[in-house]
Amino acid sequence: MSGPDFKKRVLSDEDLSLIASDVPALADLRGVRPWNRDKLWAAVLDAIIEARTKSERAAAQQALGAIQVLDAIDRLFVRHDR
């Protein structure tokens, strides 16, 4: 059984930025617009470290899950012609 043709990657960094800006857990973090994966990861890790209340910790965990999904999308569907 053959899988999908992952060589036809069609998303761009702008697409990832748009997706991330629609995720409430990520929308206000640096690195979303313009897309900067490293800055966004740093912002999520900062949120995890700085979370003091239960709701802040829950929001940080949601941001962590969301950025992990975005990383998977980035690996599979974003063209990296660098």
Q: What is the pLDDT of residues 24-48, one digit of tens each?
A: 999 999 999 999 999 999 999 999 9
Q: Is residue 9 left, alpha or beta, with left meaning phi > 0 and alpha meaning psi from -120 to 50?
A: beta
pTM strictly above 0.85: no
Dihedral over alpha carbons 58, 64, 69, 70 (to 10 degrees)? 120
Please give the structure tokens belonging to residue 17.
């930025």
3-state helix, strand, coil in the chain (%, to 5): 55, 0, 40
Q: What is the mean pLDDT of residues 41-62?
A: 96
**Residue bearing the bigger pLDDT, 10 or 34:** 34
- Sequence-ordered strand ranges (E) for the chain: none
* Contact (Cβ atoms closer than 8 angstroms) between residue 75 and residue 5: no
